[in-house]
Amino acid sequence: MSHTLHRRGTPENLENDFPMHAMPARGFNHEGAGPKLQQFLKIAHAHNPVNLGDVKLGNQYVADYEELYEKLTTSSTHAVLANQEDLTALLAEVKKADLGMSLTVSGLFEKLFECCAQAGIQPHAVEHSLGILGKTEKMPEEEISQVTTMCGHGMVAQGLVRRLIRKVKKREMTPEEAGIELAKPCRCGIFNPARAAMLIEEYCALFAVSVK
C-alpha cells in the first residue's frame, strides 16, 4: 500500500499531480541500493520535479539536492512531477537505466497508462483507494482535505492550511509561498506545492470568510 494513494480532489485539479517513489525490498535488493537510489534521484531531478525527498533526510525545501544525493543510502526516495510530458520522459529514462528498484507512480489512471505506454512500460500492478470509511464527519471539509491528503503520513495539519489561507487572503504571502510552507512538514517529499498553491488561490477566490 502506497502512502501516495489517498489524495483527494477532482479530475481537473489532480490531472497534473504525479507523486512517485523508488524503493528497495529488504532481503531482495536492499544491499547496495544507495547508488541506484542516487541515480533515480538524479534522473528525477532532471525532469522538473516540484518536490524531491527521502523519508530519512527530508524534502528539497528543508535539505538541498546535493545533500539529499550525497547522503542517500537504502531508504525510500520520492519525487513529484506536475507535467505529463515530464513524467513520460522520466519513466523512459528510468526504464533505460534498469535500476532494479520498485517504482510506484500515483495519479489519474488514464494519464498514467498513457505515460507508461509512451515510455514503453507495462505496469506490474495497480492499486486503487476505496476512499475513507468511518466517522468522516470528523474530517475537515473537502477543500482542506484536498491539501492535507497530499502528505500520506498526515504531517500537514489542517490548522496550518487554514492559517496560510488567511495569510494569502490578507496578501501577507503569495499562494506559491504558502505551497512551499505546506510542503516542508511532509518530510519524504510527496507533497505537491504547485497543486497546493493552485488550490489555495481557488479557495481564496471562492470562500470569502469561510475559513476559520
Nearest C-alpha neighbor of 63 from the set 80, 51, 75: 51
Nearest C-alpha neighbor of 76 from the set 88, 94, 58: 58
Give the pLDDT of residue 28: 79
Give the pLDDT of residue 212: 47
Nearest C-alpha neighbor of 89 from the set 119, 131, 126: 119
Residues 105 and 112: beta-carbon distance below 8 Å: yes
pTM for the model? 0.92
Residues 146 and 154: beta-carbon distance below 8 Å: no
Give the pLDDT of residue 207: 62
Give the pLDDT of residue 2: 75
d(CA 140, CA 124): 35
Q: What is the pLDDT along the chain (212 residues), one digit of tens a residue?
A: 578 888 999 999 999 999 999 988 877 777 888 899 999 999 999 999 999 999 889 999 999 999 999 998 877 899 999 999 999 999 999 999 999 888 999 999 999 999 999 999 999 899 988 888 899 898 899 999 999 999 999 999 999 999 999 999 999 999 999 999 999 999 999 999 999 999 999 998 876 544 44
